Amino acid sequence: MSVLVLAEHNNQSLKEATKKALTAALKIFSPAHVVVIGNNCASAANDAATLEGVEKVLLVEDTTYENMLCEPTADLLFELMKSYDYLVSAATTNGKNILPRVAAKLDVSQISEIISVIDNKTFQRPIYAGNAIATVESSTEKNVITVRTTAFETAQVGSSVATIEKIDAGNNPGLSEFIEEKVSSSERPELTSAGIIVSGGRGMQSGDNFKMLESVADKLGAAVGASRAAVDAGFVPNEYQVGQTGKVVAPELYIAVGISGAIQHLAGMKDSKVIVAINKDDEAPIFEVADYGLVADLFDAVPELDKELEKIQK
């Protein structure tokens, strides 16, 4: 048996999400191979080579793959999959975009966002926004799987370094072209790997008011997230959205401010270790999942929290 893990990277370093997907892959079969597809991305391949359980890293570098456009990347993976039984990726937007295209070419179904590996054909995955967990069994030789990263530990650096094999680029079918990417750069940790997240909802009333949350976040070394309502209202950009159809997170501490706790929002954060809710409506559903609920006006409570944290920092 053989497992290939698709690496998520920024052409420089390997993303945390892939280290978690690797942990899931190793539960299917160990050791695994990792494929790094990009342009001038050898350093990401070096990162992957140090991880425990990685036997070999395939490195494919070409301008075609600079932005991981779906069609050429899927074609290349389809070719590589002639020698593998499993293709595994983190359920990042790249993984979710590319893997089903490979699965269809292989004439297999994809098993999306697994949260546990029961055996090499049986997996658990959330359905209905995480309100039910399905145990599914695959009947095919080849399998294509995406991994919900919050459910798996980060793979650690191992004692040996895997070999890196360079692979030739495939053809570019020329169906699409990259134009631009607007990626907000932030000093704060990434949402999906942050230990603490401070999220705001419609109750924040404006993008300006998010500065209050940023101030709290910076004292805690936290990331800032949001509900869909806050994103739709234009308070913060789309990449802040936590939920069923945004990012799924499970930090040590999640602080929900002015968020009601709709099913779709809970789906993205209810596996956090400790949940704090600040909301002026004592019947808001968010309190049902909160360990510490504070019924208060956020415009009083958040500045107070900020001051209190400043005190303990000193």
Partner 1 sequence: MKILVPVKRVVDYNVKIRVDKETNAVDLNNIKMSINPFDEIAVEEAIRIKEAGQCDEIVVVSLGPEQSKETIRNALAMGADRGIHVKTDHSPEPLLVAKILEKVCEKEDYDLIILGKQSIDDDCNQTGQMLSALLNRSLGTYASKVEIENDTIIVTREIDGGLQTIKLKKPAVLTTDLRLNEPRYASLPNIMKAKQKTIDELDPSDLGIDMTPKVSTKKVEEPPKRVGGGKVESIQELVDKLKNVSGVI
Scanning residues 50 to 69, which ones bind partner 1 (CB under 8 A)? 67, 69
Q: Which is nearer to ligand FAD, 89 or 199 (CB)?
A: 199
Compute how many residues bind ligand FAD; rule: CB under 6 A: 27
Instruction: Report the C-alpha dihedral over residues 60, 66, 71, 77, rounded to 10 degrees.
Output: 20
Residue 166 or 273 with smaller CB distance to partner 1: 273
Q: Tell me which residues in 264-303 interact with partner 1 (CB under 8 A).
A: 264, 270, 273-276, 287-295, 301
Instruction: Give the helix/strand (H/E) hosting 3.
Output: strand 3-6
To partner 1, the closest distance from the beta carbon of 55 in angstroms equals 28
Report the candidate in 219, 222, 225 with the shortest Cα–Cα distance to residue 196: 222
CA distances (Å), origin 222, targets 109, 229, 255: 37, 21, 10
Site for ligand FAD in 143-202 (CB under 6 A): 201-202
Interaction partner, residue 132 (ligand FAD, partner 1, none; CB < 5-8 Å by kind): partner 1
- For ligand FAD, the binding residues in 238-297 under the rule CB under 6 A are 241-246, 258-260, 262, 264-265, 268, 279-281, 284, 297
Choosing among partner 1, ligand FAD, none, which partner's interface includes residue 279 (Cβ < 5 to 8 Å by kind)? ligand FAD
Peptide bond into 100 cis (omega under 30): no
Residue 92 or 260: the one with the smaller Cβ distance to ligand FAD is 260
67 binds ligand FAD (CB under 6 A): no
Strand pairing partners for 242?
247
Looking up tokens 């990449």, which residue turns up? 239
The whole-angstrom separation of Cα 248 and Cα 25 is 19
Q: Taking the complex as a whole, how short is the minimal distance between the CB of residue 178 and partner 1, in angstroms?
A: 6
Q: Which residues contact 245 (CB under 8 A, 6 or more apart)?
A: 228, 264
- Residues whose CB falls within 8 Å of the CB of residue 214, separated by 6 or more in sequence, listed in order: 188, 224
Q: 119-158 mask for partner 1 (x: CB under 8 A)?
A: ---x---xxxxxxxxxxxxxxx------------------
